[in-house]
Chains A and B, each alone.
Chain A
Amino acid sequence: MVKQIYSKYPMVKYLRKEALPTALCPGCGGGTVLNAFANAIDQLKIDPRDLVVVSGIGCSAWIASPYFLADTLHTTHGRAIAFATGVKVGLPDKKVVVISGDGDLASIGGNHLIHAARRNIDITVILVNNFIYGMTGGQVAPTTPFGAKTTTTPYRNVEHPLNIAEMVAAGASYVARWTTAHVYQLIESIKKALTVKGFSLVEVISQCPVQYGRRNRMKEPAEMLRWFLKNAIPISKAKNMSPEELEGKFIIGEFVNRERPEFVDELNKLIDEVQESFGLKGE
């Protein structure tokens, strides 16, 4: 049965079969993200040999590492972008992609996220925001909505969630946010992020029915998707709305799309200049 599904699914050629089936819960948004990523790679005709995928620790970190058939580096919690920085400098001609969770990338790894954006290093980050620490059992995350219940906010969350896309927008070349209920837009954004030269972030609001939904009256994956659809506001519309009206909504769309000097390019240019000025160029 399992084999049959695999062979029917055209994207399976991008997966590491010996690692399947995935460890994600049924109904987890992680599957949608993997699917969207594989489709983006397929549509852009990127050879997976030209791809390095780096992830941290968490359920979302597993989405592509180990399941995507490419060079994959599964690192320590929060540090994926820092590892990816070294990879990108060593392999400037490859696509370096980080796929990991909101806890991983924005909490423990928040510092690396803003500094990679500031450097504008040509890495694509797909940040899976499920509002929770899924892997460790559903504790409060920096993205957990105000008032929500988690295992460490059993009464209600009294902290305000972090707006990741807005936080990163200051430095990056490309920033977009979608939900797992906006799959086609998501694929398009991942494609753009992969093509843009510079730091790109695609935040995907994703369902974790098991750790988040269950504790917040959305046990079924579909209920969570309906919640996303009901509360998603396109960025163009959100511009004319007051903060009160936007409370609890998810602004979706493209936040940033611009050109800025890219870090590894600049490093290599600098090397050229220095070698030139010291008369070190090969004869």
Chain B
Amino acid sequence: MIIRGDEPDQIRLLRKLYKPGNYFMMGDEAVAYGAIFAGCRFYAGYPITPSSEIAETMARELPKLGGYYVQMEDEIASIAAIIGASWTGLKAMTATSGPGFSLMQENLGYAIMTETPIVIVDVQRSGPSTGQATKGAQGDFFQARWGTHGDHPIVAVSPVSVEDAFWETIRAFNIAEMLRIPVIVLFDGILGHMREQIRIPAPDDIEIAYRKLPRNEEEAKLPFGDPHGDGVPPMPLFGHGYFTHVTGSTHKENGLRDVYTPEVHDRLVRRIHRKIEKNRDVYEKYEEHFTDDAEILVVSWGVTARPSLGAVLKAREEGIKVGLFVPKTVHPFPGERMRQLGKQVRAIIVPEMNLGQMILEVQRFINDDVLLKGVNKIGGVPLTVEEILREIRGVA
């Protein structure tokens, strides 16, 4: 394992390489540095705009830290390789954009079924298909949720700025490690290519999590058991003589395949769901602005949260009682808080760079008497403060 037990040396390297202080960088670079500070030491990927700078940064920085960059032949291979690396104990990540994310879906399901901690960054771009290759968008909200087949939970986080990308990537790794799951960073091409100032902290000031390892042979024999009752099995790593069997097929607690017994499938898939339901405190995160007295609410995620905040600030100046709710973990959606806010306000506006995706999640948690309105823009151009403000005024 490259970092656990190896922290003093890793921290020495991080300190030497990246002095704490202010840096001016692209969102994509911030994702890469976040991964590096989170302990990622294996990156496999395939270039695609607008995510390529993540790969380029990792290729440049990882060797300095004793980490590995491998450019695979395609995205299917990339996610496969990081799953393989994760079973050896390496914290591993891949990054891609729309079409590449589509190619990863089968193995994303494999990571879910085998409970493999990995991080997948999707720098969303305009689609469908090759769409506008160089333009940002927010169209993969549901691809992240339902792109792979079968009943499965998913955790996806979504940064709202370049600095936030650094921290959300670290958080994605921590969630992946704590819950032994794949975590998606739903980023976008606009923030990915935007340059902003970010503050890099001292490595000791960052909390990082590690996956649970088996405490003894007994636990190691049940790589898919639940000895601690939290739904998260300790992960016996390859190379330790445990003779672990890992399969994407339905398996028993000991890892052996059983695709015929309904109870085995039921037990496994429900536990995978339960561990997400039960551990909400590990991943749930949202931001609120002026929600205390809000009568109107803007709900916005990712890149669009910024013009949304601008619009809310302007509307407040005009005396409109409007608040902003920003889910930072978009899946599972912070439904409980949404429900409370929905009871408080009379109108909800959901701006997104798509034709209406997260708005469907919002709708699930609010009553019919709340006026619900999307502000949707596609074409690769971000929503403006003015465009959102106009809608707020319209319902004020």
Stretch at the interface among B24-32, B74-82, B169-177, B210-218: B74-82
- Is A2 part of the binding interface, using a Cβ–Cβ cutoff of 8 Å? no
| Min distance, Cβ A94 to any Cβ of chain B, angstroms | 6
- 22 A–B contacts from the bound complex (CB under 8 Å): A49-B243, A66-B256, A66-B257, A70-B243, A71-B238, A72-B245, A75-B80, A75-B110, A76-B80, A82-B73, A82-B76, A83-B83, A85-B72, A85-B80, A86-B70, A86-B80, A86-B88, A87-B238, A90-B88, A91-B238, A270-B63, A271-B63
| Min distance, Cβ A124 to any Cβ of chain B, angstroms | 15
Residues of B within 8 A of A91 (CB): 88, 238-239
Cα distance A65–B248 in the bound complex, in angstroms: 12
Q: Which residues of B approach A to under 8 Å, CB–CB?
A: 9, 12-13, 16-17, 42, 44, 63-64, 66-68, 70, 72-74, 76-78, 80-90, 92, 106-107, 110, 238-249, 254-257
Closest to B114 in A: A73
Cβ–Cβ contact B81 & A18, under 8 A: no
Cβ–Cβ contact A73 & B84, under 8 A: yes
Partner of A79, one of B13, B76, B86: B76
- Provide the main secondary structure of the chain B interface: mixed
Q: A82-B77, A90-B238, A275-B64 are in contact. List 5 more A-B contacts (CB 8 A).
A: A16-B243, A18-B256, A74-B246, A86-B80, A90-B87
Q: Which of B68, B70, B238, B256 has the most CB of A within 10 A?
A: B238
**C-beta contact mask, A79-100 vs B, less than 8 Å → 1, else 0?**
1001111111111001000000
- Is A170 part of the binding interface, using a Cβ–Cβ cutoff of 8 Å? no
Cα distance A152–B81 in the bound complex, in angstroms: 33
Partner of A87, one of B66, B88, B106: B88
Closest to A275 in B: B64
Cα distance A16–B245 in the bound complex, in angstroms: 10
Cβ–Cβ contact A74 & B248, under 8 A: yes
| Min distance, Cβ B107 to any Cβ of chain A, angstroms | 6
Closest to A48 in B: B243
Cβ–Cβ contact A83 & B81, under 8 A: yes
Residues of A within 8 A of B239 (CB): 49, 52, 71, 90-91, 94
* Given A84-B84, A112-B77, A282-B9, A74-B64 contact (CB < 8 Å): no
